C-alpha cells in the first residue's frame, strides 16, 4: 500500500471512530461493568458456566469495531483470538479441562475491550498522529494498516 492510500485509510478510520464515538463509549462502559467484566472473571475462577455469557458482549464489540472501517478486514491474529473465544456452548465435560475451554473466551473479550478502549482514547484525533502512540498503532494493526 502506498503512503497516500495509507493516509486516506487512517483518515477514514478517524472519521469512523468519530461517527461511532457515542456507541464506542457506551460499549466501553458496558464492557467495564459488573456483569460484563467483574463477573465473568470471577466466574472463570469459580469455574462457573456463566463465564460463557461474555461471548455475546465480545461479539457485539467486534461488530462495532468492524463498522469503524468497513472496507478493511480485521487483523488475522485478532480474528483468530475472537474465533477461538466465541461460539462456545458449555458442556459438563468442559469442567475436566476448564482452562482450555474458558481462557480463550476471556482472552477474546479482553482483546476486544482493549480495541474499543483505544478507539475511545483516540476518538478526538483530527489527523493521524506524527508520533505514534502504542494504542493508535494497535488500532492500525487491527485494520492491517501497519
Contact 49, 90 (CB under 8 A): yes
For position 130, what pLDDT does the model report?
Answer: 86
Look at 112 and 3; give whichever has higher pLDDT: 112
Residue-range definition of the domain harbouring residue 45? 3-142
CA distances 38 to 27, 33, 72, 81, 89, Å, are: 15, 7, 32, 21, 21
Look at 70 and 131; give whichever has higher pLDDT: 70
Tens of pLDDT, residues 10-29: 999 999 999 999 999 999 99
What are the cell numbers at 37? 467484566
**Given the C-alpha cell 467483574, which residue does it identify?**
38
Across the chain, mean pLDDT equals 96
What is the rounded average pLDDT of the residues 18-45? 96
Overall number of domains in the chain: 1
Tens of pLDDT, residues 81-129: 999 999 999 999 999 999 999 999 999 999 999 999 999 999 999 999 9
**What CA–CA distance (Å, rounded) separates 146 from 140?**
6
For position 1, what pLDDT does the model report?
Answer: 82
The model's pTM is: 0.95
For position 35, what pLDDT does the model report?
Answer: 93
What is the rounded average pLDDT of the residues 26-38? 96
Amino acid at each position: 500500500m502506498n503512503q497516500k492510500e495509507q493516509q486516506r485509510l487512517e483518515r477514514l478510520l478517524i472519521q469512523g471512530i468519530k461517527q461511532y464515538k457515542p456507541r464506542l463509549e457506551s460499549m466501553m462502559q458496558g464492557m467495564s461493568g459488573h456483569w460484563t467484566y467483574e463477573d465473568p472473571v470471577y466466574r472463570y475462577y469459580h469455574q462457573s458456566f456463566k463465564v460463557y455469557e461474555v461471548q455475546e458482549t465480545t461479539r457485539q464489540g467486534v461488530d462495532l469495531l468492524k463498522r469503524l472501517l468497513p472496507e478493511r478486514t480485521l487483523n488475522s491474529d485478532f480474528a483468530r483470538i475472537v474465533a477461538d473465544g466465541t461460539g462456545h456452548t458449555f458442556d459438563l465435560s468442559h469442567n475436566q479441562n476448564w482452562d482450555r475451554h474458558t481462557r480463550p473466551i476471556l482472552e477474546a473479550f479482553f482483546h476486544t475491550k482493549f480495541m474499543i478502549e483505544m478507539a475511545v482514547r483516540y476518538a478526538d484525533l483530527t489527523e493521524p498522529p506524527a508520533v505514534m502512540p502504542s494504542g493508535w498503532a494497535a488500532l492500525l494493526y487491527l485494520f492491517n494498516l501497519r
